[in-house]
């Protein structure tokens, strides 16, 4: 789960950068940047949950 989260965060960032580089319309850029940020936040949530699971397991 942690590895997935760690991979999702750069994946979301690449979506953000690609949106800025490849799209010309501001509204389209905003949409894809929001999607990329969403992927990053999902990755962050996965990392948080994996650490919570580790902490619970060690107690």
Q: Answer yes or no: are the C-beta atoms of 38 and 4 closer than 8 Å.
A: no
The span from the CA of 14 to the CA of 18, in Å, is: 6
Closest separation in Å from C-beta 37 to other proteins = 5
φ and ψ of 24, to 5 deg: -105, -30
Residue with tokens 């962050």: 44
Q: Answer yes or no: are the C-beta atoms of 5 and 43 closer than 8 Å.
A: yes
Exactly one of 1, 4, 14, 28 binds other proteins (CB under 8 A); that residue is 14
Residues between 20 and 49 with contacts to other proteins, criterion CB under 8 A? 20-22, 26, 29-30, 33, 36-37, 40-41, 44, 47-48
Positions touching other proteins (CB under 8 A) are: 6, 9-14, 16-17, 20-22, 26, 29-30, 33, 36-37, 40-41, 44, 47-48, 51-52, 55-56, 58-59
């Amino acid at each position: 789960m942690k590895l997935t989260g760690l991979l999702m965060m750069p994946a979301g960032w690449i979506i953000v950068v690609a949106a800025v580089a490849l799209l010309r319309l501001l509204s389209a850029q905003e949409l894809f940047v929001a999607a990329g940020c969403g992927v990053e936040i999902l990755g962050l949530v996965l990392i948080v949950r994996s650490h919570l699971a580790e902490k619970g397991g060690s107690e």
